[in-house]
Structure 1
Amino acid sequence: MGLYEDNLKGFILALLSSVFIGASFIIKKKGLRRAAAVSGVRAGYGGYAYLLEPLWWLGMFTMIVGEVANFIAYAFAPAILVTPLGALSIIVSAVLAHFMLKEKLHQLGVLGCVMCISGSVVIVIHAPQESPITSVQEIWIMATQPAFLLYLGSVIVLVILLILYFAPRCGHTNVLVFTGICSLMGSLSVMSVKALGTALKLTFEGRNQLVYPETWFFVFIVATCVIAQMNYLNKALDTFNTAVVSPIYYVMFTSLTILASVIMFKDWDGQDTGSVVSELCGLIACALWYHCVKLDQRL
């Protein structure tokens, strides 16, 4: 199977993933509201009553389906192609929030959707072909290079700082705190998911990667990061408007994932300067979504 066919499979799976994940934001938000109404303690302030709410679990199941599709997509295509396709989840959540949560989406919000899609298309068009990986140990070598270890250390320091210092002080007034924690942890989980997905793909092809301790270390990292992401994403959704949380999370998560991917997998090696500039411009276009939505909320 050629690299083009692999990228196409990853592309389709990533699109399906975005639909499920976008819908899950809305279902979980409704579950959080219902749980808060019953218990009187919101998730944003440390409440966990949503764990007893069936609607929240339905949203969680929907997200898991989307994440599984995303997981498989990373096994076939480079992270720099799969991650930007998460823009579709913003469109799905924005439209559903407009009708189901009564969070109005006006003209600037629609403009933000168009810009978000345009930026993602630019990035996807210029996404590079990924170099074949023959073992999980190759990924481990990439993950332990000095440049990525520096990125890893920076992420850990920032997450600890956000959790211990900023979250208690301004987590409920500044949307960047909770979403920042999710996005930073998310960039690490994507790299680990990519490694784990590749290991499973090679195992199914007859090259068993489960015998390597590196594979199980990546499993541990994925589990740790996902649990942290879910906790703080619930806090963000419970505290702030979905139409604001979703795009900010997408832009920050995508930016950090592309950065991590460039450092770890060197996805941009061999591309000309024009392609790199196009990708960065596409990401900037995605980022402008947030400003459109924020202005939209004031109308």
Structure 2
Amino acid sequence: VNMDTGTRDFYIGLSLAVSSSIFIGSSFILKKKGLLKLSHRAGSGGFGYLKEWMWWAGLILMGIGEAANFVAYAFAPATLVTPLGALSVLFSAFLASKWLNEKLNILGKVGCLVCLLGSTFVVLHSPKEQEVKSLQDLQYRLADPGFISYSIVVLILSLTLIFFVGPRLGSTNPLIYVTITGTIGSLSVMGCKGLGVGIKEIIGGNTHELGNWFFWILLISVVFFISVQMVYLNKALDLFNTAVVTPMLYVVFTGCVILASGILYKEWSKLPAEDIVGNLCGFLTIISGIFLLQAFKDLNISLPHLSSMLYNDNNSNNNNINN
């Protein structure tokens, strides 16, 4: 069956996004195991993890995952690629239960299934076509007052958290470092998508884009933003449970990307109302699944335990009726 270019690109982007989540989910576990071996903690400002091979293995896996994610943005809309990052949360939660002794109870497993359901909704209802076809188009869109305002707010918020709030509350509140990582990450995604468009143009024969100053500004910006993300993601992972960090990061990061993408790339501008509602419902369903993973992670509850509780409740009710 022949597919048009837009549909083919959509499925290429989808495949890359899913494989990216598997690599990134695995990287969280390896990096966490590497950090746990250290005496000088990254959360206290140490960089001893740079000498730990397991941390580097995790970083390499994350690099592969991010590379796949980067290419995915060149083929598919950000409102499809980013929400599918929930699959990395599922994968890391599963591996954490096996390798980090972080328990995954029955509610966590239900949360995983709910996340998969939400991801399916996102895939079915997301935009199928790219709204930006060239770097020239992107350069024009960056002058949009809405995106300029968004970028200024993100930078002011991040600087405030880094220099004023983080030193006082960062070690007790995971949301501080997660917010820095997620908000800055939304800008790196916008840059990655632009770079992906530029690289597609170059591969397609428009080699003059290599001499375009805007292409190199995007590249430098992406490298800088990703470097900031890595520093504060390491701090968050070292100070807090993986099952806390990854779900919170997903919600903050994905929410910011959807907002930024809606402002800059107008990816929802041609979607019918039912697809917009379906996409939002999918995102909210994923958040619900992540909530189940996070909120009840410390409860020692299993399917046999639930059955036992129901059996005891029934016996208690029967005894009350007999009395």
TM range (shorter): over 0.9
Which stretches of structure 1, 4 residues or more, deviate above 4 A after TM superposition? none
**Structure 1 residue 271 displacement after superposition:** 1.6
Question: Pairwise mapping of residues 271-282 of structure 1 onto structure 2 (< 5 A)?
Answer: 271-282=271-282
RMSD of aligned alpha carbons:
1.3
Corresponding residue number in structure 2 for 1:157: 156
For 1:210, the aligned partner's letter is L
Corresponding residue number in structure 2 for 1:171: 170
CA contact (8 A) 1:29 1:238 kept: yes
Q: Deviations over 1:84-127 (max 9, x none)?
A: 11111111100100000000011121122122222222122111
CA contact (8 A) 1:244 1:290 kept: no
Corresponding residue number in structure 2 for 1:30: 33
Q: Distance in 1 between matches of 2:84 and 2:133?
A: 26
CA contact (8 A) 1:108 1:295 kept: no
For 1:53, the aligned partner's letter is E
Q: Describe the shift of the 1:232–1:271 C-alpha distance in structure 2 as closer, same or farther (beyond 3 A).
A: same
Q: Distance in 2 between matches of 1:66 and 1:73?
A: 10
Q: Are positions 1:192 and 2:195 aligned together?
A: no
CA contact (8 A) 2:16 2:72 kept: yes
Question: Pairwise mapping of residues 1-299 of structure 1 onto structure 2 (< 5 A)?
Answer: 2-34=5-37, 36=38, 40-131=39-130, 133-208=132-207, 209-299=209-299
Larger radius of gyration: 2
**Structure 1 residue 131 displacement after superposition:** 3.8
When the two structures are aligned, how many residues end up with a matched partner?
295
Q: Distance in 1 between matches of 2:283 and 2:27?
A: 24
For 1:190, the aligned partner's letter is V
For 1:284, the aligned partner's letter is L
**Structure 1 residue 51 displacement after superposition:** 0.4
Q: Distance in 1 between matches of 2:289 and 2:181?
A: 19
Q: 5+ residue gaps in structure 2? A: 300-323
Q: Deviations over 1:187-214 (max 9, x none)?
A: 0000000000110111011012111111
Query: TM-score, normalization: structure 1?
Result: 0.95
Q: Distance in 2 between matches of 1:131 and 1:109?
A: 35
**Structure 1 residue 291 displacement after superposition:** 2.8
Q: Distance in 2 between matches of 1:16 and 1:240?
A: 26
Query: How many percent identity over aligned positions?
Result: 44
For 2:118, the aligned partner's letter is G
Query: TM-score, normalization: structure 2?
Result: 0.88
**Structure 1 residue 289 displacement after superposition:** 3.3
Q: Distance in 1 between matches of 2:154 and 2:162?
A: 12
Q: Distance in 1 between matches of 2:76 and 2:270?
A: 17
